[in-house]
Amino acid sequence: MIDVAKKIGIQTIVIPFVAPENRPSSAQGWKEFGERLVSASKPVLNAGLGFAWHNHDFEMVPVDGQAPLDLIAAASEDIQIELDLAWIKFSGEDPVQWIEKYSGRLVAVHVKDIAPVGENADEDGWADVGYGTMDWPAIKRAMDAALVRRYVIEHDNPNDHKRMAQRSLATVQSF
């Protein structure tokens, strides 16, 4: 993985997901998971690459009173964060607060939108960036303050990929 990353110019390895059957069910379990990530990061960091975790909604739901994302991040400052802003909002949390919380550790953010309730059922409730419910002016101010430089435009299930790409890119360019 390290050799491939270096060959194609990847600077940070991002761990994107943990399957439901492998997710810890306690704060202690998430702390131990964070420690496993620290071990996994060592060869990556020693090779001069960055190492990051990408969230979904389940890392925002408190376990024993603590968000799993916080427990993962607490394992080591070397674990950078790639925030998926729509999953944060989907979980009921405020993306701006999470951007502010992890300012300085954000390697990238997923710029994604959530359709208004009852809309875009054929796209699993997702929307093109700028056509949903995300508060992009406030989020953009927070991203700028946190010096976020990489935006990953995303839509989990577009029914028209070209439309999604064109509209979402136009929205991000308007930032």
pLDDT band at 65 (very low <50, low <70, confident <90, very high): very high
Please name which of 75, 62, 97, 100 lies closest in space to residue 15, comparing C-alpha atoms: 75
The separation between CA 146 and the C-alpha centre of its own chain, rounded to angstroms, equals: 15
Q: How large is the average pLDDT for residues 126-145?
A: 97
pLDDT single digits (tens) 77-112 = 999 999 999 999 999 999 999 999 999 999 999 999
Would you state the pLDDT for residue 6? 96
Q: How large is the average pLDDT for residues 49-69?
A: 97
- Tell me yes or no: is domain 2-170 CATH 3.20.20.70: no
Q: How large is the average pLDDT for residues 9-19?
A: 96
List of residues 6+ apart from 61 with CB closer than 8 A:
67, 68, 91
Would you state the pLDDT for residue 160? 97
Q: How many Å apart are CA 161 and CA 166, to the nearest integer? A: 9
Would you state the pLDDT for residue 43? 98
The separation between CA 144 and the C-alpha centre of its own chain, rounded to angstroms, equals: 16
**Domain residue spans in the chain?**
2-170
pLDDT band at 46 (very low <50, low <70, confident <90, very high): very high
Would you state the pLDDT for residue 13? 96
Would you state the pLDDT for residue 156? 95
